[in-house]
């Protein structure tokens, strides 16, 4: 509740505490149009090799407005003037205290206040004097109906890249990088020392793709193969020979590539069925979210689903999630014989309990809401170590998984990397729709998996 002019007296004070987050600096940059790299997280504004993340002085000063508008005098207050003296700088990660104190009252509901912003350690950042018009009617603050903001950042992928880049680059057979987007993705992974690309395909087409995207490929090994099938076969052979530790899809159909990988004689079959795992960085979600299988197994049976789950857990372990929580999805969270996916989910959960699936916590059936939202799970009375906190979402079939992954990508602005698991080496699948960040993330995921396998 605010204080109207008659309720105010000299010496009254109020304060608010605020953590300066990197997201605040991004929001302020967009709102103000000030994209000074000194103030934008992850950018180096002074050339010293490290980002500064200095809070803009006017963002710090705006915290004073928050105290005036929320606390003293409160809702209904209008600024007349504000003078400011900047005494220091604040950075993302610091907690700031904005304080105001009334020093005089004047005619026409005018109030003068001393204003200060300082750190919790007492280091003063801003001081000054505000003149405001105090409210004349009682107003209660209701912030619940103010729209929230979602910052489209992909900090989880940034951490993956930081973790993978120190690892030694591993030889990767890139199959048919004969279009600019396919070639650029492979070269980007090479530039970041994640992979060492070996380009397999038609040399003339690869050269044309390099020219189109402005890349110099003179330092890369090129293996001539003039059909997509023969290029895929050559990549598989290079893995058998020890010349490559991973395969990356270029500009060819996925089934042509996988056809050579799953061949019974000379392929790269492992002990389990192949499955694809999307690793997604979804803005607003505080951890990586993995979705499987959305690319290979169309209508998996129970045995295949068990392999899909184990593949995803193995990948999660490799990228730094020691005991991932696996939600087996269906339309409902109760077992219903009329919905076969609920039966599979219940069996998979029991298999994990009995040690037939290892390395993670598995529960299902779970509907999408109670798999990822703790409030939804509690509302429905679900008691589970997984419900509301799933790291891995296992779709009942390829259609559901593919739609889920693409909805997150195109509606929730997620970046999606990922690899094929279950073969004797990781298979990096990229799409023309992938952002550069997503392409790099796929390479980083493969690098971490190769590193974990030794």
Tens of pLDDT along 232-269?
Answer: 999 999 999 999 999 999 999 999 999 999 998 889 99
Element (H, E) at 290: strand 289-292
* Ranges 33-42, 146-155, 221-230, most confident: 221-230
The CATH number for 271-422, chosen from 3.40.50.10490, 3.90.550.10, 3.30.420.40, 3.40.718.10, is: 3.40.718.10
**SS3 string of 215-247?**
CCCCCCEEEECCCHHHHHHHHHHHHHHCCCCEE
**Lowest mean pLDDT: which of 6-20, 95-109, 132-146, 201-215?**
132-146
The answer on pLDDT for 353 being more than 90 is yes
What is the separation of C-alpha 147 from the centre of its chain, rounded to a whole number of angstroms?
Answer: 22
Q: Do residues 37 and 108 lie in contact, with contact meaning Cβ atoms separated by under 8 Å?
A: no
pLDDT value of residue 170? 94
Average pLDDT, the chain: 93
DSSP 8-state secondary structure symbol assigned to residue 50: S
pLDDT value of residue 248? 95
Length of the chain: 454
Spatial distance between the Cα atoms of 291 and 279, rounded to a whole number of angstroms: 7
The answer on pLDDT for 150 being more than 70 is no
Tens of pLDDT along 152-198?
Answer: 667 888 889 889 989 999 999 999 999 998 899 999 999 999 999 99
Q: Classify domain 5-133 at the CATH superfamily level.
A: Hotdog Thioesterase (3.10.129.10)
pLDDT value of residue 140? 85
Q: Do residues 186 and 248 lie in contact, with contact meaning Cβ atoms separated by under 8 Å?
A: yes
pLDDT value of residue 209? 95
Mean pLDDT, rounded, for 371-394:
93
The answer on pLDDT for 305 being more than 70 is yes
pLDDT value of residue 50? 81
pLDDT value of residue 152? 67
The pLDDT confidence band at residue 129, using thresholds 50, 70 and 90, is very high
CA atoms within 13 A on the CB side of 162: 7
Whether the link from the prior residue into 109 is cis, omega within 30° of 0, is no
Whether the link from the prior residue into 293 is cis, omega within 30° of 0, is yes
Q: Do residues 437 and 189 lie in contact, with contact meaning Cβ atoms separated by under 8 Å?
A: no
The answer on pLDDT for 13 being more than 70 is yes
Spans of all domains in the chain: 5-133, 271-422
Q: Which stretches within 11-151 are classed as H helix?
A: 22-32, 57-70
Q: Give the strands of the sheet with 95-105, arranged side by side.
A: 13-19, 95-105, 110-119, 124-133, 78-86
Spatial distance between the Cα atoms of 40 and 78, rounded to a whole number of angstroms: 30
Mean pLDDT, rounded, for 201-217:
95
Q: The tokens of 389 are what?
A: 């906190």
**Lowest mean pLDDT: which of 22-36, 147-161, 433-447?**
147-161
Whether the link from the prior residue into 365 is cis, omega within 30° of 0, is yes
The pLDDT confidence band at residue 295, using thresholds 50, 70 and 90, is very high
Mean pLDDT, rounded, for 358-386:
94
pLDDT value of residue 41? 85
DSSP 8-state secondary structure symbol assigned to residue 207: H
What's phi and psi for 385, nearest 5 deg?
-75, -10
- DSSP characters over 126-195: EEEEEEEEPPSS------TTSPP------HHHHHHHHHHTTSPPEEEEEE---SHHHHHHHHHHHHTTSE
Which pTM was predicted?
Answer: 0.81
Tens of pLDDT along 47-67?
Answer: 887 888 999 999 999 999 999
pLDDT value of residue 156? 87
């Amino acid at each position: 509740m605010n204080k109207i002019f008659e309720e105010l007296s000299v010496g009254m004070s109020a304060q608010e505490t605020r953590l300066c987050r990197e997201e605040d600096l991004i929001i302020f940059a967009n709102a103000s149009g000030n994209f000074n790299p000194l103030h934008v997280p992850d950018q180096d504004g002074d050339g010293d090799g490290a980002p500064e993340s200095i809070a803009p002085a006017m963002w710090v000063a705006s915290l004073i407005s928050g105290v005036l508008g929320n606390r003293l005098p409160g809702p209904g207050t209008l600024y007349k003037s504000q003078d400011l003296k900047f005494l220091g700088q604040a950075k993302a990660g610091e907690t700031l205290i904005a304080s105001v104190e009334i020093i005089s009252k004047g005619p026409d509901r005018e109030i003068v206040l001393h204003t200060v912003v300082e750190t919790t350690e007492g280091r003063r950042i801003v001081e000054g004097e505000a003149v405001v018009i105090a409210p004349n009617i009682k107003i209660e603050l209701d912030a619940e109906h103010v729209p929230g903001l979602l910052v489209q950042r992909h900090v989880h992928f940034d951490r993956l890249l930081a973790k993978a880049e120190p690892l030694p680059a591993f030889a990767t057979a890139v199959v048919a990088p004969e279009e600019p987007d396919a070639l650029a993705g492979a070269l980007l992974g090479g530039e970041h020392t994640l992979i060492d690309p070996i380009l397999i395909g038609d040399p003339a087409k690869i050269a044309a793709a390099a020219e189109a995207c402005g890349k110099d490929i003179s330092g890369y090994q090129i293996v001539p193969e003039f059909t997509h099938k023969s290029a895929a076969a050559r990549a598989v052979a290079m893995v058998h020979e020890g010349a490559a530790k991973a395969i990356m899809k270029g500009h060819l159909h996925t089934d042509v590539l996988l056809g050579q990988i799953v061949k019974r004689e000379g392929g790269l079959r492992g002990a389990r069925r192949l499955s694809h795992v999307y690793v997604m960085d979804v803005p607003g979600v505080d951890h990586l979210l993995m979705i499987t299988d959305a690319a290979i197994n169309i209508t998996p049976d129970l045995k295949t689903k068990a392999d899909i789950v184990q593949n995803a857990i193995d990948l999660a372990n490799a990228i730094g999630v020691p005991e991932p929580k696996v939600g087996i999805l269906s339309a409902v969270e109760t077992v219903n014989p009329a919905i076969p996916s609920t039966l599979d989910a219940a069996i998979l959960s029991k298999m994990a309990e009995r040690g037939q699936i290892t390395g993670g916590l598995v529960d299902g059936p779970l509907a999408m809401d109670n798999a990822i939202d703790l409030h939804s799970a509690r509302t429905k009375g679900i008691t589970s170590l997984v419900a509301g906190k799933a790291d891995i979402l296992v779709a009942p079939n390829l259609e559901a998984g593919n739609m889920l992954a693409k909805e997150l990508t195109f509606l929730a602005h997620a970046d999606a990397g990922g690899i094929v698991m279950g073969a004797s080496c990781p298979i990096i699948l990229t799409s023309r729709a992938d952002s550069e960040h997503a392409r790099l993330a796929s390479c980083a995921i493969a690098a971490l998996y190769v590193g974990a396998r030794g």
